[in-house]
């Protein structure tokens, strides 16, 4: 039998990556779907009266092997993909979508769930059981169980199309990212670039048997070039390449896919009785309605826009005085912002990087987790990894009990998509009185070590690592009974609280002194640099806030109205951006065609949640600051009421239990320097 369909006999029941071959996946999926269908049939055809145990719990624990195979496969498709895996993904996604529909559109099964749901008042259920019952009932009602047969078939067809389109969208973006290479042969064109970036570009060119220096659209290559390269023409070339991904009217173009996804989502929402896709999505979010989201975004826009316009005017004047630039363009943004930041704070990333050796930053995150939550991290080599770059850890608590297995994957490569994310290979849950601990992973794209230097992080990369580590803690510290309510399985606008709150420790002297030491001398980061990091933390905060708001507005423009009148992606996007645009538009560029968060990932109608969670995180960290950033009591309250609880209760209830009050936006606005 295929390795993927057996119970894993590995250490800690981890994924046996070294034994898995690409051609194992398709047959494994087909067999696992068949087995899961049998489990569903057993629940459906059970002659006993429907109970919470024989229907809701049985449903919750069904398809365990299929979920496991899916998590391994789709994580590899993001972090270590190839043509074979992408082809399998195209074939498997419709099968999984069809199987999902087989469950939610199974009338007989829904009838059993409904009977339990209708008698819930008499069942004496715990809070977590009540949440699970609500979630199961809604998974049917919100996915067409109450529809007549002909409409159920339409829903199935839409879901199949959407699963294939989303995959194709992501494949096109990855192919576009990998396709672009800027080979520099004249050393003068590297002027302004830090030594580390030049060395990395040289190494990249060598790895492709080219003479010279190579720049790509991967973040560790792209961002230093856009930030430091003096050659404005080359910055322009790179910026346009980055901004025109999947927007070239060729075989990798995503315009039609964007229109199809938006229209199908709207059609699906209408079919289910919702006005728009956003209405459908937000019913299961803290924000509740599109109107509330738009109010939230516009309110923030009112507060951030004057600051953003002031900052932009200052930047424009600075660039004009410095280099005679009459009109700032998008490819000038990072370059002149960095120069102005250096002038105002005598601080630049190159000064900071020697203090942020990757290994030290990882250990810093571990030490902070130990001080707050009593966790111990031990690097182990007794489990399989899917790539040699991946680091593997065993996480234990103060009593030495296993808390989690932790994978960390930090460097870019051809098979890995851009960006940073947290994911899991196995959730935490309790079954038959046995506690199953989670396997959690973070994936980033940081600068690789070169021949002469270790991996030295920019401050932005440091906060990214802490952000993803915050998500990881949410997964690791999970302590719930049911897998679908465990860890990060929470309302989407609550999921960013643990990740964003962790970023705050990167700005605190007490925390920085634990890990920010010079990679050559071992010297702790000087106090004046810490001061400058804090002072510069709100640099261009107005512009940054405006940028995040603009992405939220773009997301809502695709999903909170009927998109059938939209025929031109770029024109629609321009209209959505009109109140937030500072830089002149670039005709060749389009964001929507590469906006993977909303067209491939799970953020459709949810991009606002980054800002929403910032309100929560600023308010939460204010509590830590008041009591001490390593205060055990506050940390325990955060762990017990937020991190360990997953989606077992309403997030506002959990938050208030931790904080003693609802979050107030003032903490965020103050931190951002938008109010005094």
Return the active site residues.
468
Closest CA to 605 of 260, 289, 171: 289
Report the distance separating Cα 334 and Cα 668, nearest Å: 24
Please count the CA atoms within 13 angstroms of the CA of 184 that sit on its side-chain side: 28
413's torsion region: left (phi>0), alpha (psi -120 to 50) or beta? Answer: beta
Report the distance separating Cα 675 and Cα 413, nearest Å: 42
User: Which H or E run includes 394?
Assistant: strand 391-396
Report the distance separating Cα 277 and Cα 558, nearest Å: 9
DSSP class of residue 507 equals G
Residues 6+ apart with CB under 8 A from 177: 216, 217, 218, 245, 417, 418
Do 226 and 239 contact (CB within 8 A), yes or no? yes
Do 261 and 246 contact (CB within 8 A), yes or no? no
Q: Given the DSSP bridges, would you call strands 402-409 and 439-443 parallel, antiparallel or unpaired?
A: parallel
**DSSP assignments along 327-384, one per residue:** S--GGGHHHHHHHHHHHHHS--HHHHGGG-BHHHHHHHHHHHHHHHH--EEEE--SS-
Do 59 and 113 contact (CB within 8 A), yes or no? yes
Q: Which residues of 619-631 are buried (b: 16+ CB within 10 A; e: fewer)?
A: bbbbbbeeeebbb
Do 458 and 219 contact (CB within 8 A), yes or no? no
Query: Is 560 buried (19+), middle (13-18) or exposed (0-12) by CB count in 10 A?
Result: buried
Number of residues that make up the chain: 676
Report the distance separating Cα 189 and Cα 197, nearest Å: 13
User: Which H or E run includes 25?
Assistant: helix 25-44
CA Rg value for the chain: 25
Q: Given the DSSP bridges, would you call strands 402-409 and 434-436 parallel, antiparallel or unpaired?
A: unpaired
- Bridge partners for 393 per DSSP: 379, 406
Do 307 and 542 contact (CB within 8 A), yes or no? yes
DSSP class of residue 276 equals S
User: Which H or E run includes 557?
Assistant: helix 541-559
């Amino acid at each position: 039998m295929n390795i993927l369909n057996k119970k894993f006999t590995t250490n800690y029941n981890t994924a046996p990556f070294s034994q898995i071959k690409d051609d194992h996946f398709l047959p494994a999926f087909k067999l696992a779907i068949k087995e899961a269908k049998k489990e569903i049939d057993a629940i459906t055809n059970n002659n006993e009266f429907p109970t919470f145990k024989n229907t809701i719990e049985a449903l919750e624990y069904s398809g365990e092997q299929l979920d496991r195979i899916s998590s391994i496969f789709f994580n590899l498709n993001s972090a270590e993909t190839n043509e074979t895996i992408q082809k399998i993904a195209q074939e498997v996604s419709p099968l999984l979508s069809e199987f999902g529909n087989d469950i939610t559109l199974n009338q007989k099964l829904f009838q059993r769930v409904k009977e339990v749901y209708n008698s819930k008042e008499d069942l004496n259920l715990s809070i977590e059981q009540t949440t699970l019952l609500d979630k199961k009932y809604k998974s049917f009602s919100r996915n067409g169980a109450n529809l007549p047969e002909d409409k159920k078939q339409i829903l199935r067809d839409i879901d199949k199309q959407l699963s294939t389109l989303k995959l194709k969208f992501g494949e096109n973006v990855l192919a576009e990212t990998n396709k672009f290479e800027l080979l520099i042969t004249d050393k003068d064109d590297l002027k302004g670039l830090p030594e580390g970036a030049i060395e990395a570009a040289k190494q990249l060119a060598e790895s492709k048997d080219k003479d010279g220096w190579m720049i790509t659209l991967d973040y560790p290559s792209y961002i230093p070039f856009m930030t430091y390269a003096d050659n404005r023409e080359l910055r322009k070339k790179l910026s346009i390449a980055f901004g025109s991904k999947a927007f070239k009217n060729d075989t990798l173009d995503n315009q039609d896919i964007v229109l199809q996804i938006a229209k199908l989502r709207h059609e699906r929402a209408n079919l289910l009785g919702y006005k728009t896709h956003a209405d459908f999505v937000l019913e299961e979010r803290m924000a509740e309605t599109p109107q509330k989201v738009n109010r939230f975004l516009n309110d923030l826009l009112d507060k951030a826009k004057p600051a953003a316009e002031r900052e932009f005017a200052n930047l424009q004047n600075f660039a004009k005085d410095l280099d005679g630039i009459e009109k700032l363009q998008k490819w000038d943004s990072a370059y002149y912002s960095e120069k102005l930041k250096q002038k105002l704070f005598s601080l630049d990333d190159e000064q900071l990087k020697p203090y942020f050796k990757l290994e030290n930053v990882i250990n810093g995150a571990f030490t902070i987790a130990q001080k707050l939550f009593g966790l111990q991290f031990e690097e182990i080599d007794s489990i399989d990894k899917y790539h040699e770059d991946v680091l593997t850890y065993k996480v234990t608590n103060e009593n030495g009990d296993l808390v989690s297995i932790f994978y960390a994957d930090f460097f870019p490569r051809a098979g890995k998509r851009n960006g940073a994310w947290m994911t899991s290979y196995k959730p935490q849950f309790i079954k038959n009185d046995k506690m199953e601990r989670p396997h959690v992973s973070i994936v980033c794209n940081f600068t690789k070590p070169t021949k002469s230097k270790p991996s030295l992080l920019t401050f932005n990369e440091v906060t990214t690592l802490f952000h993803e580590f915050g998500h990881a803690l949410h997964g690791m510290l999970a302590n719930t009974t049911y897998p679908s309510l465990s860890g990060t399985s929470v309302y989407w606008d609550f999921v960013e609280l643990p990740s964003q709150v962790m970023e705050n420790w990167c700005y605190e002297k007490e925390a920085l002194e634990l890990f920010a030491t010079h990679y050559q001398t071992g010297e702790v980061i000087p106090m004046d640099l810490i001061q400058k990091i804090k002072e510069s933390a709100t640099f261009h905060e107005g512009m940054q806030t405006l940028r995040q708001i603009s992405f939220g507005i773009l997301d809502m423009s695709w999903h909170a109205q009927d998109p059938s009148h939209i025929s031109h992606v770029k024109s629609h996007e321009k209209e959505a951006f009109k109140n937030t645009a500072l830089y002149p538009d670039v005709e060749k560029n389009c964001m929507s065609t590469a906006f993977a968060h909303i067209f491939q990932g799970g953020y459709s109608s949810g991009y606002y949640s980054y800002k929403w969670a910032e309100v929560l995180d600023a308010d939460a960290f204010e509590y830590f600051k008041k009591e001490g950033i390593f205060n055990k009591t506050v940390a325990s309250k955060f762990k017990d009421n937020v991190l360990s609880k997953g989606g077992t209760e309403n997030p506002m209830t959990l938050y208030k239990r931790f904080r003693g009050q609802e979050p107030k936006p003032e903490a965020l606005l103050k931190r951002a320097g938008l109010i005094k």
